[in-house]
Structure 1
Amino acid sequence: MLKIIIENLYSREIKTLETDCKVIELIHENYIDWMHACGKKGRCTSCKMIVVEGMENLSELTEREIFYRENGRLTSKERLTCQAELKSGTIKIRVADVNKFPHVDYGEG
């Protein structure tokens, strides 16, 4: 079983048996609002997640993520949810402050 824990959404857990699925798809399938200004195409960084634990459980960096890292728009602890696939195990993530929606209650859990 694969699992996503979103720390600052009161440690909300998403469990799935699906593999090779983009992180943002798993989030949206579980009715969680997550920003994605470019339509999940890797053309911006609005869907970025901060990976607290489990970076090794994600797919390799995509060309778009490498581009944003080289241009200082993604740190080594950040990935794009529209590009990264959960491959195994568990990831613990946070919504970046800059990408929080005003209508969502973000806990510090």
Structure 2
Amino acid sequence: MPEIEISNLYNRKINTNSTEKRALEIIHENFIDWMHACGKKGRCTTCKMIIEEGMENLAPVTQSEERFRNQKRLGEKERLACQAVVFGDIKIKVANKNKFPHMEYSD
């Protein structure tokens, strides 16, 4: 059962019974607001997550993510939450530029 820990949301931990879901789906199913301006289609970088641990527990980078990496809009330790399928435990954080003003973050 994969677990996602969001370090700058006070180390909030969420679980899923599935290993076929994208990170953003899991986050939203657990009632956590996470930015996604393009409707989860991989057309922007507003759902960017910074991977602190567990990069190996995500499906390979998608074409959308590769395009953003080539444009220098997505770093090597960053993935799009709407594209990254979670297969195991990961520790992530919300990028500063993608934080919501109505939420309280721990960093």
* TM-score of the pair, normalised by structure 2: 0.98
- The 5 A counterparts of 1:7-46 are 7-46=7-46
Within 5 Å, which residues of 2 pair with 1:68-107?
68-88=68-88, 90-107=89-106
Inter-partner Cα distance in structure 1 for 2:18 and 2:103: 26
Deviant stretches of 4+, over 4 Å: none
| Alpha-carbon separation, structure 2, partners of 1:17 and 1:3 | 9
Displacement of 1:15 in angstroms is: 1.0
Letter in 1 for 2:29: E
Distance (whole Å) between structure 1 residues aligned to residue 96 and residue 42 of structure 2: 19
Provide the identity percentage: 58
**For 2:15 and 2:87, how far apart are their aligned partners in 1?**
13
Mark the runs of 5 or more structure 1 residues left unpaired by the alignment.
none
SS in 2 for 1:65: helix
Name structure 2 gaps, 5 residues minimum. none
Letter in 2 for 1:13: K
Within 2, Cα distance between the matches of 1:98 and 1:85? 23
Q: Which is richer in strand? A: 1
Distance 2:15 2:24 in 1: 13
- How far 1:99 sits from its partner (Å)? 0.1
Aligned residues: 107
Aligned counterparts of 1:83 and 1:97: Cα–Cα separation in 2 = 20
**RMSD of aligned alpha carbons:** 0.6
Aligned residue for 1:65?
65
Distance in 1 (alpha carbons) for counterparts of 2:26 and 2:60: 18
Q: Deviations over 1:42-95 (max 9, x none)?
A: 00000000000000000000000000001100000000000000012x100000
